[in-house]
Amino acid sequence: MQVNSKDIDFYNLGFGFIETNKMFISDYKNGNWDEGNLVPLGLIQLSPAASILNYGQGIFEGLKALRAKNGTITLFRPEENAKRFNRSAERLFMPRIDSKKFVDSIKKVVKANEEYIPPYESGGSLYIRPLMIGSGPILGIAPADEYKFIIFSSPVGPYFPEGFKAIDLEISTKYTRSSVGGTGFSKSCSNYAGTMMPAKEAKSRGFSQVLYLDSIHREYVNEVGAANFCAVMDNTLVTPELDGTILEGITLKSVLKLSEKKLNMRTEERKLSYKELFTDACTECFCTGTAAVITPIGSVQIEHSLKVFNKKLPGEITTKLYQLLTGIQRLEIKDDFNWIHEIS
């Protein structure tokens, strides 16, 4: 049920779905997208034979609209979400969406739901979720011939309830999230279903999330269920190379740029053995994502080996990067890279 924006406690939001006013829907039929339009947020009808329901033919994106101090509404690099959406669409054998249509439709959804953008002081945001599903009926395994492109939004607070506090991760020796040649680099719905049980098990043991390793050697760091992984080693920012098994994070890409250009750090995208995290050279770790922003990692544990970073306090570089990134996103630090879209 739609919630009146006046009844929302924007200062105590978690990362959960709250219904807003409007959503955008565009339909693909006979090889073409219709123009699409804003409609009241509500249920959609699907055939039980829809390809999304049977074979998981679906992809999504995630980005945030923020309210800056002066009231301006900002988006962060939405054209990068458009590019990634189309990379995902290609891998899942789905039709492309014109990037301009993707970004313009997001802006329409934000404007239509403006009253749900949390105030600047709350630190919250309007999370925007573009998605595409195969809606056409299909029985044999083949792409649908009809699709729906939908954008909805929800006001959110921090993804990890800890906020900008360090989280504890369990390195899984049992589960992996993707494999070479698979769909790990894409934001396909099916990549996430398989991470729910591992996350629940890790949480029951007191961890915030799982840190996955590669599926062949069970040694190299892959990523966290919904965020990329970075380690600081000897003043170098190290992140696992994007080998097709890792989602190419827009926050990660931005953090690499900020480390090089603003903190004069070296960056390395390479295979990163989990064993390196347990050496003295590794002084800070954090994860990055739209929902996770930059979340410090207080400890990693694999079986009985535990490594605690910086007494579980956010490290110096992690903190600097967090301040730079969120400062740019909230128009408090000059946007030297043309990352911000202002919505008027």
Query: What residues are annotated to the active site?
Result: 187
Window of 93-101, 211-219, 286-294, 331-339 that interacts with ligand COI by CB under 6 A: 286-294
Pairing of strands 305-308, 293-302: antiparallel
The helix/strand/coil state of 269 is strand
Contact 209, 292 (CB under 8 A): no
Q: Closest distance between ligand PLP and the C-beta of residue 9, in Å?
A: 25
Q: Cβ(39)–Cβ(105) under 8 Å?
A: no
Q: Are 4 and 11 in contact (CB under 8 A)?
A: no
Which residue has 């827009």 as its token pair?
Answer: 250
Distance of CA 81 to the CA centre of its chain: 10
Q: Work out how close the CB of 127 gets to ligand COI at its nearest, in angstroms, rounded to a whole number.
A: 7
Contact segment (CB under 6 A) with ligand COI among 84-92, 171-179, 209-217, 288-296 equals 288-296
List the structure tokens of 149: 């492109």
Say whether residue 290 binds ligand COI (CB under 6 A).
yes
CB contact set of 100 (below 8 Å; sequence gap of 6+):
none
Which positions ≥6 away from 61 have C-beta within 8 Å? Answer: 81, 84, 85, 129, 130, 131, 187
Among 89, 144, 231, 247, binds ligand PLP (CB under 6 A): 247
Q: Considering beta carbons, is residue 136 or 289 the nearer one to ligand PLP?
A: 289
According to the binding rule CB under 6 A, does residue 137 interact with ligand COI?
A: no
> What token pair was written down for 11?
């200062």
Q: Are the beta carbons of 284 and 316 closer than 8 angstroms? A: yes
Query: What minimum distance in Å lies between the beta carbon of 80 and ligand COI?
Result: 12
Smallest distance, Å, CB 297 to ligand COI? Answer: 16
Task: List binders of ligand PLP among 294-313 (CB under 6 A).
Answer: none
- d(CA 41, CA 50) in angstroms, rounded, equals 21
By a kind-dependent CB cut-off of 5 to 8 A, residue 247 interacts, out of ligand PLP, ligand COI, none, with ligand PLP
User: Which residue lies nearer to ligand COI by CB, 250 or 300?
Assistant: 250
Site string for ligand PLP, 262-301 (x = CB under 6 A): --------------------------xxx-----------
Residue (50 or 237) nearer to ligand PLP, CB = 237
Residue with smaller CB distance to ligand PLP, 24 or 229: 229
Residues near ligand COI (CB under 6 A)? 62, 226, 289-291
